[in-house]
Amino acid sequence: MQIPYSRLYLRMVLYIGAAMIAFTLIGVVSVFVIASYELRGYVAARQSPLAREAADALADGGRPALVRWLEDHVATEPDISIYILDSGGKDLLDRPLPKEFAAFVQESVVPDPLDDPDDNYLELRLTPRIVAPDGEALSFLVLPKSITLWGSAATRLGLIVVALLVAGVVALVIARAIGRPIRELQLAVRELASGHVHARVPAIIAARTDELGSLAADFNAMADRLEQLLSGREQLMQEMSHELRSPLARLQAALALASHRQSLTAEERSQIDAEISRMNHTIGAMLRFSSLDSVGTTAPRLVRLGKMLTELVNTEEVEAAAKGCRLDLKTERQMTLVGDPELLRSGFENILRNAIRHAPPNSSVEINARRAAGGFEVAIGDQGPGVAAEYLERIFEPFFRAPETADQSTGSGLGLAIAKRVFEAHDGEVTATARPGGGLLITVRLNEAEMS
């Protein structure tokens, strides 16, 4: 099942959601602790003897004595506020009640003036009541001075600090999860742009399973490919300069002799033509090899493999006859693949011509095309001297020649390298093994076309 949202999006949701849950839990716990603390203070205040003292002052000296008692305790009580309310809910010292408690006091503290004192049921009131000599009932209300929803100023400051800490931790996590990979990518891109082809994003970031990890892995793959291309180009230029130096030296020698004698013999002219032809062939092969690295060099079409090989064998029979060998083609029917016909023909042609070049007289070059798991296999084998096991992989390198088969007079050294590039460009592969009975066997594996 495909996830509808990106992994990076889900990670951000997880981080922010965790931060909100953490802050909510801390807030709920804080409110619970504050409320418990304030409730204990309120209960302690209610259970104090202050109400009895106020009632005694009222009984001894009436309302003036109660007002004096209230003034004295308002000035001396640091943690609580004392209110004595008449039947209209007005404080004896004309102090306004806290706005957040005004409605609550009116409903649950001040007695209803309509209550009948002779009734056997009276509404419950949450504060003590003291009675004046004239029968007036006064409400004795005690409130902690710091009673608010979020407690005291110190408590509110603590909650703000907690919120900042939670936000800071989440910001740090997000910065490490997103900011650091982006920074590493930026540094790697800058290094690569500066010419440091070894620049890579750290493996720990490329191993991530989200989009940043995929981007880092793609960047590393791109950097690997660029390094291979640049290294291959440098090696190609070195090998090409080596390959062209020999024919150029021979040309210079022939021209020096001709200049000394003021004439060219037919043999010298033929040698010069052969060297020029070899240089032209080498340069053409090098250009074809280099062009395979370019994007969009293939023009995919439907290719019938058997028909292509048949036409190729018919074309190369002339060269095989000149070498005194035969071409033996065996192919199955209805083998179809998708690829560039010209490139595929060039790849098979290079392998076949390499086999003809090393085939001894009165021998045969076998071309066997058959179906294999998920595609086709084309095996081209000769009965020549073969290649030592340690060189079987290197023969596909540009300008490499195995010591046993080194022939400096023919070939450009790029034929098998071109074939390898061609088949890899078609999502195939090519391998070389020793042929049973002697010789070299090169096997090409290609995917079958999916017909809808």
φ/ψ of 201, rounded to 5, equals -80, 140
What does the pLDDT read at residue 408? 47
Tens digit of each residue's pLDDT (9 = 90 or more) over 396-432: 887 777 776 545 445 556 788 888 888 988 889 999 9
Quick one: which of 427, 378, 418 has its CA closest to 395?
418
User: Of 179-193, 281-295, 435-449, where does the model show the most confidence?
Assistant: 435-449
What does the pLDDT read at residue 295? 44
Tell me the one-letter amino acid at 9.
Y
Q: How many CB atoms lie within 10 A of CB 444?
A: 24
Q: For residue 379, is pLDDT > 90? A: yes
Quick one: which of 173, 181, 225, 187 has its CA closest to 203?
181
For range 94-112, the mean pLDDT = 75
What does the pLDDT read at residue 1? 40
Tell me the one-letter amino acid at 199.
A
Q: How confident is the model at residue 90 (pLDDT cuts 50, 70, 90)?
A: confident
Domain ranges for the chain: 48-144, 212-291, 299-447
User: What is the C-alpha R_g of the chain?
Assistant: 49
Q: How many CB atoms lie within 10 A of CB 429?
A: 12
Average pLDDT, the chain: 78
What does the pLDDT read at residue 45? 57
For residue 154, the SS3 value is: helix
Q: Could you tell me what percent of the chain has a pLDDT over 90?
A: 13
Q: For residue 304, is pLDDT > 80? A: yes
User: Of 57-66, 279-288, 326-335, where does the model show the most confidence?
Assistant: 326-335
CA distance 441 to 382: 7
CA distance 402 to 404: 6
Quick one: which of 353, 374, 392 has its CA closest to 428?
374
Which architecture characterizes domain 299-447 according to CATH?
2-Layer Sandwich (3.30)
Instruction: Report domain 212-291's class.
Output: mainly alpha
More confident residue, 134 or 369: 369
48-144 against 212-291: fold identical: no
For range 218-237, the mean pLDDT = 78
Classify domain 48-144 by CATH number: 3.30.450
CA distance 174 to 368: 60
Tens digit of each residue's pLDDT (9 = 90 or more) over 116-174: 656 566 566 777 888 888 777 888 887 766 555 555 666 667 677 777 887 778 777 77
Quick one: which of 384, 383, 402, 385 has its CA closest to 393?
402
Three-point CA angle 119, 120, 125, nearest 5°: 90
